[in-house]
């Protein structure tokens, strides 16, 4: 009986978890602007509507008495923005909204009877007049096409002014700040490395990244984690069309040169592979069908087999017999005989014989240590 009750409880919990609920992206931007007539007079009450080109997500607002409107916290994407008012022709244009961007889009409506619909597919990057944040955007096209050794996304940060590698701890340093003061966000969630700063997942599947933005100075107080660079990454989402990708990158030792300390070319095999897939979920009785629920799946894996030559001291033939050379602080040298047990002999003989007795370390001659 207890097993049946437990099964019923788990079945109910599973059913609740599978009930579709609206889930919104956590990477946002915003659109603000004004609506005027052809003479420049403000039009209060104008309706401004934004429709996501890929998902059909729609948000509408009404211009205030001063003709100014605001559409905050819009998921990043490409939108068709339209404005309409009684007695005026509708006007529409297409804009791309990036993460952490506030775009200013102003409309000038003509009197009804004169059609002035405008479609803009590509325009020059706008100047953000709403904030004083200094930052740079790395587009999805750059993420997908630029070569990256190891597919480490943090290397793309070096494309921005003021970003340099931080050799002592890894990662990047922005505008003189240490890398430990950097922070990162993935779809609006904190993904910072608590110890070293910066992104926790440098090998995140590049095929699943839509874009990311690097905020360097004068960013909002909501980013209070550190004084360094803030990286905001946006992952891809499902759309009205099914789409996906599959990839594999291979590196090996076929064209590698021999390491100076190795007699032969060290074996090297690296495989990086993965897939992505996304699209709509059709639920006719929930949310009135499509344009409401989407899915996106990504998976990536990494395999590496690499031999690294290591130079280290090993016991000399004399030391295996218990003859230990000693050099005093005054420069006198002599040999001390120490007892060698059978157990110690077994351990000493497990080491290979030295291959470079004339090797020197830090200017000191150490015989038979390599």
Determine contact, residues 234/212, Cβ cutoff 8 Å.
yes
For 131-267, strand residue ranges (E) read 134-138, 163-165, 172-174, 183-186, 189-190, 209-217, 230-235, 243-252
Query: Nearest-CA neighbor of 231 among 242, 253, 221, 216?
Result: 216
Instruction: Specify the pTM.
Output: 0.64
Task: Please count the CA atoms within 13 angstroms of the CA of 101 that sit on its side-chain side.
Answer: 25
Beta bridge pairs of residue 283: none
Residue boundaries of the structural domains of the chain:
28-109, 134-235, 243-306, 317-365
Give the torsion through C-alpha atoms of 115, 119, 125, 127, to 10 deg: 30
Determine contact, residues 55/290, Cβ cutoff 8 Å.
no
Rounded to 5°, angle at Cα 344 from 339 and 347: 150
Domain spanning 28-109: CATH superfamily: Immunoglobulins (2.60.40.10)
C-alpha 91, offset from chain centre: 37
pLDDT digit string (tens) for the chain, length 370 residues: 555 445 444 455 444 444 444 444 457 889 999 999 988 899 999 999 999 988 888 999 999 988 899 999 898 889 999 999 988 989 998 998 888 888 889 999 988 865 555 555 444 555 666 666 777 888 888 888 888 877 887 788 888 888 888 766 666 777 778 778 888 888 888 888 877 777 777 778 889 988 888 888 777 777 767 777 888 888 898 888 898 999 998 889 888 888 887 778 888 998 999 999 999 887 655 544 455 788 999 999 989 888 887 777 888 888 888 888 888 888 788 888 999 999 999 998 888 888 765 543 333 333 333 3
Phi first, then psi, for residue 330 (nearest 5°) are: -85, -5
CATH 2.170.130.10 corresponds to the domain 134-235: yes
């Amino acid at each position: 009986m207890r097993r049946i009750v437990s099964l019923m409880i788990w079945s109910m919990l599973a059913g609740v978890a599978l009930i579709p609920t609206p889930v919104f992206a956590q990477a946002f931007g915003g659109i603000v602007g004004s609506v005027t007539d052809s003479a420049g007079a403000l039009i209060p009450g104008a309706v401004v509507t934004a429709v996501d080109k890929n998902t059909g997500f729609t948000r509408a607002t009404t211009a205030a008495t001063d003709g100014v409107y605001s559409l905050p916290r819009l998921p990043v994407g490409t939108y068709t923005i339209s404005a309409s008012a009684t007695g005026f022709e509708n006007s529409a244009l297409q804009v791309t909204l990036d993460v952490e961007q506030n775009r200013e889009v102003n409309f000038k409506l003509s009197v009804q009877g004169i059609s002035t619909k405008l479609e803009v597919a590509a325009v020059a990057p706008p100047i953000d007049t709403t904030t004083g944040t200094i930052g740079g955007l790395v587009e999805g096209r750059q993420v997908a096409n630029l070569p990256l050794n190891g597919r480490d996304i943090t290397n793309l940060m070096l494309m921005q002014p003021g970003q340099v590698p931080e050799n002592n701890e890894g990662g990047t340093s922005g505008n003189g700040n240490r890398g430990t003061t950097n922070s990162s966000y993935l779809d609006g969630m904190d993904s910072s490395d608590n110890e070293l700063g910066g992104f926790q997942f440098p090998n995140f599947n590049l095929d699943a990244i839509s874009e990311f933005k690097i905020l360097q100075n004068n960013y909002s107080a909501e980013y209070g984690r550190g004084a360094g660079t803030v990286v905001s990454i946006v992952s891809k989402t499902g759309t009205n069309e099914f789409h996906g990708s599959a990839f594999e990158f291979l590196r090996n030792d076929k064209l590698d040169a021999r390491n100076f300390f190795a007699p032969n070319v060290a074996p090297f095999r690296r495989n990086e592979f993965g897939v992505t897939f996304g699209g709509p979920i059709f639920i006719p009785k929930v949310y009135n069908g499509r344009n409401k629920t989407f899915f996106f799946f990504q998976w990536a894996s990494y395999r590496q087999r690499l031999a690294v030559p290591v130079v280290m001291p090993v016991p000399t033939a004399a030391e295996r017999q218990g003859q230990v050379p000693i050099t005093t602080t005054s420069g006198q040298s002599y040999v001390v005989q120490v007892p060698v047990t059978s157990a110690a002999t077994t351990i000493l003989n497990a080491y290979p014989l030295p291959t470079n007795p004339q090797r020197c370390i830090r200017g000191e001659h150490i015989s038979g240590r390599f």
